[in-house]
Chain A
Amino acid sequence: MNDASSARTLSYVTEAVPLAIAAHGMKKAFGDVRAVDGIDLEVPRGIIFAILGPNGAGKTTLMRMLATLARPDAGSATIMGHDLVQAPHKVREVIAMTGQFASLDEDLTGRENLMLLARLWGFRGRAAKARADDLLATFGLSDAATKQVKDYSGGMRRRLDIAASLVVTPDVLFLDEPTTGLDPKARKDVWAMIRGLADSGVTILLTTQYLEEADQLAARIAVIDHGKKIAEGTSRELKAATGSGVLHVALADPAHLDRAAAILESRLGHTVQRSTEGAELSILAGTAKAANEAVAVLVAEGIEPSDFSMGQPSLDEVFFALTGQPGSGESQKDESR
């Protein structure tokens, strides 16, 4: 748990901070696919808010609507008090968006990419270059200032892409899957950057497929699937619904799977989920002690686990706990556009 974020959540509850984003009944369909199917969202100012969901859940479409890139079929929203449909230009003054795929000009250098945006925002001549260099230094990219972006690593691209959203400090920053495809080190760097931004007062709405990311960063999390919001709360609240720990058991002999599942379910009082390969069982355990005892019973019954572990619930397990169904996983819907 992130203590700072829970503190922010508390102040939100008690002081009723004005909303950065207020969206009601947002809908968007592509042909027959209802990508976003009636979502309400209230994001207080100054917090990190995560939208958690599998591929194809409608996260990107929702974010594109809020960033004025897609027109909602129905519903209304205000960003920092500006109406999304009536005053998109006003909204664009206060937001910035970093999309899922690095929205940079690969042929230009890092500095030129930032100078391009600085000039579009109205920095002139030397001021544009100074702003670009300042951002490059902030994001640890000074050494790569004159390198073409096509020669950047994935982590460098991501940092430059986020820097590009901060040429002018936005009130609301949209980050669409900011760490997808990054190695663990680069992911930690991006997380640190996002926290730093939030501390400086920027409201951040991010989408993610990773529960851990939402847990690490966000004061509030909305879980969406099939275009609908299925849960919302703090990380702690969601985990209370999910259970704090999940026991994973792999069996040496798959023939015992059914018997092992029955034993675990009767001991722990939850439903066992089987991995798609079938050799591993996962079940909410609540406490490590309860998990330990359940494994002991398996061994006493002559069922030998080849491996067992306690872990944070995966996104799939959160979905399972919230909906009783597995998440849609690698879904059929393409939400990239």
Chain B
Amino acid sequence: MSETIVLRRPQKVARPARPSAISNALVFGWRAVLKFKHVPEQLFDLVMTPIMFTLLFTFVFGGALAGSPGDYLQFFLPGILVQTVVFNSVYSGMGLSTDLGKGLFDRFRSLPIWSLSPFAGLMVGDVLRHLIAGSIILGIGLILGYRPQEGFFGVVAAFALLIAIGFGVGWIFIVLGLLIRTPMTVMTIGFTFIFPLVFASNIMVDPGTMPGWLRAFVDVNPVSSMTTALRGLMDGGATLGQIGLALVAPIVLTAILAPTTVWLYLRR
């Protein structure tokens, strides 16, 4: 315990030229990448649930729901990608809540940097998470026999849509993260809203057999629109209208919650 520490007298240091806002934002992006290096366990959290869902629904329910597990997987896989991205959007908000609770953001806020650059870092982390988790789920789907009918470019377009969806939904958790000091509460409250949206949708089953009132909800549920568009992009038949409809929720969420985030963060 009796470590001998040699402390040198701190030297005065010349200031480098003031970096640009983009440079500030990239530094926070670098932080997000470092997080993957130091906390690789988070990848396990990201993909465990969707993998279990995929296996459970394909092999246990798939035959009963669609005639055969293979047919069901073909129907289900684009939907589970939407679910994965929506659920994984929680991580930015939880990280933000942790950072704020620890006072890390006090340091960032007392620096002469572009005040919103930390959020750019959160976005970089989000995009990376969505790409990694999405690729793993798609990879497992391919192993199990899923075949995207639109081929490589369909998948690329689908992933672009997924990132837009994640970007929009991410604001919900970022706002919660700014308001709530305990990361677990951020998750619980967020999921309270997101669970019914994900499960009362067309991700798992065709809503045709649902009671009318529920079907009415499923039809207007933005998660259903996202799933429909993603299926179209990967398996053919996507219309511009469907893609536009899938983008409505992300655009509306961003339009409302991004300024809210700025306001919440900058008020002192």
Interface residues of A (CB under 8 A from B): 64, 67-71, 89, 92-93, 95-97, 99-109, 112, 116-117, 119-124, 127, 131, 134-135, 137-140, 148, 159, 164, 166-169, 185, 189, 192-193, 196-197, 199-201
Contacts and interface: CB of A to CB of B under 8 A. Distances in A.
B13 A89 contact: no
A200 B9 contact: yes
Contact of B27 (A93, A105, A116): A116
Contacts of A100: 103
Most buried by A among B35, B110, B268: B110
B104 A103 contact: yes
Given A67-B110, A93-B112, A122-B16, A105 B9 contact: no
A64 to B, nearest CB: 8
Contact of B103 (A95, A103, A107, A199): A103
A99 B13 contact: no
A106 B39 CA distance: 11
Interface string B113-128: 1000100000000000
B104 A138 contact: no
Interface residues of B, number: 39
Contacts of A166: 10, 13
A69 B13 CA distance: 25
Given A89-B112, A116-B30, A169 B104 contact: no
7 contacts: A89-B112, A102-B102, A103-B105, A107-B39, A108-B34, A122-B17, A192-B7
Contacts of B109: 68-69
A169 to B, nearest CB: 5
Interface of B: 2, 5-13, 15-19, 23-24, 27, 30-31, 34-35, 38-39, 99, 102-113, 117, 268
B12 A169 contact: yes
Nearest to A101: B103
A196 B9 contact: yes
Contacts of B112: 89, 92-93
Nearest to A118: B16
A122 B102 contact: no
Contacts of B15: 121-122, 168
B7 A106 contact: no
Contacts of A105: 31, 99, 104
B173 to A, nearest CB: 19
Contacts of A70: 268
A153 B105 CA distance: 22
A1 to B, nearest CB: 22
B247 to A, nearest CB: 33
A196 B10 contact: yes
Contacts of A189: 5, 7
A96 B10 CA distance: 15
A60 B90 CA distance: 31
A166 to B, nearest CB: 5
Contact of A122 (B19, B35, B107): B19
B183 to A, nearest CB: 13
Most buried by B among A117, A122, A197: A122
Given A108-B31, A116-B30, A121-B16, A103 B5 contact: no
Given A107-B39, A122-B18, A196-B9, A92 B111 contact: yes
B106 A69 contact: yes
Contacts of A64: 106
Given A139-B7, A189-B7, A199-B9, A99 B106 contact: yes
Contacts of A69: 106, 109-110, 268
Contacts of B2: 185
Across the A-B interface, give the 3 residue pairs with the lowest CB-CB distance, nearest first.
A140-B5, A122-B16, A122-B19
Contacts of A95: 110
A209 B16 CA distance: 37
A169 B10 contact: yes
A131 B11 CA distance: 11
